[in-house]
Structure 1
Amino acid sequence: MWVFLVTEIMFFGGMFLAYTLYRYKYPDAFAVASNHLDIRLGGINTAVLIVSSFTMAMAVFSTQVGKRRNSIVFLLMTMALGLTFLGIKAIEYHDKYRDSLIPGTLIPGRPFSPNPHELHLPPGMPIGNVEIFYWIYFAMTGMHALHMIIGVGILTVITILAVRGRFSPEYHAPVEISGLYWHFVDIVWIFLFPLLYLLGRHLEGHLG
């Protein structure tokens, strides 16, 4: 499991490196794009995942002490919070689709063509630089969402096994391993939120 987590850290680390390099190269464009993200939804999702980390930890603890009923309840709560996160992220993606902020030609017939006035794009700033931000945004949040979906799937299996009484204080390794994975995915978002939603927001109104 630890080897897997190390490979995941390296995978997301590459994305964080790409973000850092491009943000250094196009700071104003990244600030403009970041200001267009919905910080309210991003903040709610951050709170949702923090709570889900707590419920996941309680699920592991309940399994360790032999409280199967509590373990099942906390597992279900964790999955519900994960699905809530994905639902909110889907709303954000829909907003980006509505505003033509899907980069490239990922959506046939709907290329990246936002309204410069809605983006508060300063005169002379290439729209392509802003598009780079959204390429990175969708790559990072999309991969994170995929990991969340996988996590919910794993917890579904773990919950079924818990209902069948497969775990006990003597044998609970699968629950612990699932918890490690869930916490890792949560931690990734804790880094994504400030980088994508918060960094550069203080520049709003001072560009151009």
Structure 2
Amino acid sequence: MAHDMTVDAAHAHEEHHESPVVFGFWLYLMTDCLIFGTLFAVFAVMRNQFAGGPTGKELFDLTGVGIETAILLLSSITYGFAMICAHQTKLGAMRAWLVITFLLGAGFLFMEIREFSHMVAEGNGPDRSAFLSSFFTLVGTHGLHVTCGMLWMAVLMIQSTGKTVLSERMMNKLTCLSLFWHFLDIVWICVFTFVYLMSVI
């Protein structure tokens, strides 16, 4: 009886300790919303400040950006599959879906870096105009977040290797990364619509 009470107390303490982790991460995402909101506002002000340089319509390739968008949205779906497998304790399948998600994220970053390098090589870097400065800052900040998400994902894959059961703490880490990854998808949809699409139309 005393042992059961001790176990229950420990379990309650773990829940009490871990539950604020996800809530705290929600608060972090709110601060990230403020950061991206500020960057979008700056881009809105600078979007027509070309300084005699090229416009978005002249620079942006919607086909390539559309492929980037599809890749990132698909990675959100594959991460969802990973979470389903995690809840079902199918850890091998979970890691496989995480690897696929990681590779999709890498593909997205590759295309973004290729776009940046192509623009810079043609003399259209962030120092060319206020429009390009705000563009590189906004899109680059999103790319940096994707990079951090991929590093986080790699760490979780390593930490889960060899395990047959996921602890509550590990599930919280996966849940927080899930929130982060889906948040990046939402931000990118805004980038695609507000930065690329509206600049080309």
TM class, shorter-chain normalised? 0.7 to 0.9
TM-score by length of 1: 0.77
134, 138, 159: which one aligns with 1:140? 138
Q: Which runs of 4+ in 1 moved over 3 A?
A: none
| 1:16 match | 40
CA distance in 2, matches of 1:61, 1:169: 15
**1:153 and 2:151 aligned:** yes
Deviations 1:105-133 (A, max 9, x none): xxxxxxx3xxxxxxxxxxxxxxxxxx221
**Larger proportion of helix:** 2
Matches within 5 A, 1:160-171: 160-165=158-163, 167-168=165-166
CA distance in 2, matches of 1:85, 1:134: 20
**1:37 and 2:51 aligned:** no
Q: Aligned to 1:62, what secondary structure does the other structure show? A: helix
Question: Deviation at 1:187?
Answer: 1.3
Question: Deviation at 1:31?
Answer: 9.1
The change in CA–CA distance for 1:50 and 1:134 in structure 2 (over 3 A counts) is same
**1:85 and 2:108 aligned:** yes
Question: Deviation at 1:144?
Answer: 0.7
**1:6 and 2:6 aligned:** no
CA distance in 1, matches of 2:53, 2:69: 21
| 2:120 match | 97
Contact 1:35 1:197 in 2 (8 A): no
| 2:200 match | 201
- Percentage of matched positions with identical amino acids: 27
Question: Deviation at 1:169?
Answer: 7.8
TM-score by length of 2: 0.80
| 2:97 match | 74
> Structure 1: any 5+ residue segments left out of the alignment?
105-111, 113-130, 203-208
Q: Aligned to 1:164, what secondary structure does the other structure show? A: coil
**1:180 and 2:179 aligned:** yes
Question: Deviation at 1:167?
Answer: 4.8
* Structure of greater relative contact order (alpha carbons < 8 Å, 6+ residues apart): 1
Question: Deviation at 1:195?
Answer: 1.5
Q: Which residue identity is paired with 2:148?
A: I
- Paired residues in the alignment total 175
Q: Which residue identity is paired with 2:139?
A: T
Question: Deviation at 1:67?
Answer: 0.9
The change in CA–CA distance for 1:166 and 1:11 in structure 2 (over 3 A counts) is farther
| 1:108 match | none
| 1:118 match | none
Q: Which residue identity is paired with 2:132?
A: Y
Tell me which structure has the larger Cα radius of gyration: 2
Q: Aligned to 2:163, what secondary structure does the other structure show? A: coil
The change in CA–CA distance for 1:166 and 1:185 in structure 2 (over 3 A counts) is farther
CA distance in 2, matches of 1:164, 1:151: 22
Q: Which residue identity is paired with 2:130?
A: I
